[in-house]
Structure 1
Amino acid sequence: MKKKLNYLSVFFLACLLSSCATIFGGKVTSAQRTKPKEGEPARKVRPVAVIADALIFWPGLIVDFATGAIYKPAPKSESEPKVEAASVKK
């Protein structure tokens, strides 16, 4: 019984010391990792992850912002590289 309690304590502590968006947010895309250049729109933040990090364990916010997991992933159309059609001369 004591051994199960120790494992449960370690698991619970690991959950509290982790950041929500990094653990549950899925794969971090390159659009989330790179900062927007001048003139580009700012990245949108996942509000649920911010609130959960703030309520559960606030240093998790630091981890989420450092990894970029706190930002919403770009839509598929924006994340795919744009390929221009090559003009064919006859």
Structure 2
Amino acid sequence: MKKSLIKTAFALAILASMSSCATVLGGRVTEYQRTKPVPGKPAREIRSAALIADVLLFWPGAIVDFVTGAIYRPQ
């Protein structure tokens, strides 16, 4: 019983460390965040705190954040 509890806690800790910060903590992703700006429009701003946390904690999480658009600030 105790070993399975330890294994479960270990698996949850690994899963939490491998998550992407902006996707998990950033809230709902808006349509503005999902769509790329058309040529001539200003670029979307990046959530710097989430990017720094992704790079320090688990850098592949930054890839997930960019793919989902969660790394960009909502309008």
TM range (shorter): over 0.9
Alignment partner, residue 16 of structure 1: 17
Q: Which runs of 5+ in 2 are unaligned?
A: none
Alignment partner, residue 26 of structure 2: 25
Among the aligned pairs, what percent are the same residue? 53
CA–CA distance in structure 2, aligned partners of residues 4 and 47 of structure 1: 36
String of CA shifts for 1:28-67, please: whole Å, max 9, x gaps. Answer: 0000000001111110000010000000000011100000
Q: Which runs of 5+ in 1 are unaligned?
A: 75-90
Greater Rg over alpha carbons, structure:
1
Q: TM-score, normalised by structure 2?
A: 0.94
More helix by share: 2
Which of 1 and 2 has higher RCO (CA within 8 Å, sep 6+)?
A: 2
CA–CA distance in structure 2, aligned partners of residues 16 and 50 of structure 1: 14
Paired AA for residue 16 in structure 2: C
Deviation at 1:8, TM superposition (A): 0.8
CA–CA distance in structure 2, aligned partners of residues 18 and 39 of structure 1: 34
